[in-house]
Structure 1
């Protein structure tokens, strides 16, 4: 997938996260989960953009690792929202699917970069 497509996709993911967090109930647990989800969900796109400007293959591998960690963390917080009963799974399924797809894409990209770095 081209870099520009992933830049658009990760920004759209961030915007969906923002909209989700803004609609969470106003209680302590949602405030804590919401802040964490907002931080990691929006940083996926920011860190992906940084990886596109990596100065070396090793720098790219490091930065894409951060993207993977942040996307996976977003998945964790969304799972908590569902499993705690705060949000019905059906309402988050599309966003969870997108997060899983992004994680898979970035894992594959990182593996390819590591293989290319060995050669």
Structure 2
């Protein structure tokens, strides 16, 4: 079985969101959504890190559920920004794809630990 560096993927996902929004947004709504997206993307990475150190399967599943919640929030935020023309879809294709893949991975892991 191939070992995947999921910790690294979560960190890279959070870092890519930070880099995408490195410039000061031009409006109140853009600023609000950018800050919230950075929080949710980073929170997903941090909670996934907590999953690795959880002591029981129940605790692992709980950390994964929090991670999933934050990933879904990130995806919703990206979609809102694209629909509101705050973010161009072309600039977010890679982040959207990685967000979707991470959601799928976490859902699979939750099934394993639940």
Q: What range describes the TM-score normalised by the shorter chain of this pair?
A: over 0.9
Greater fraction of residues in helix: 1
Distance in 2, matches of 1:113 and 1:54, equals 11
What is the CA-CA distance between 1:88 and the residue it aligns to? 1.5
Instruction: Kindly report structure 1 stretches of 4+ aligned residues shifted beyond 2 Å.
Output: 23-26
- Distance change (3 Å), C-alpha of 1:88 and 1:104: same
Cα RMSD (Å): 1.4
Structure 2's unaligned 5+ residue stretches are none
Equivalent in the alignment of 2:79: 79
Structure 1's unaligned 5+ residue stretches are 115-119
Query: Per chain length, whose mean CA-contact separation is higher, i.e. which structure has more relative contact order (CA < 8 Å, sep 6+)?
Result: 2
TM-score, normalising length: structure 1? 0.89
TM-score, normalising length: structure 2? 0.93
Equivalent in the alignment of 1:57: 57
Q: For this pair of structures, how many residues does the alignment match?
A: 113
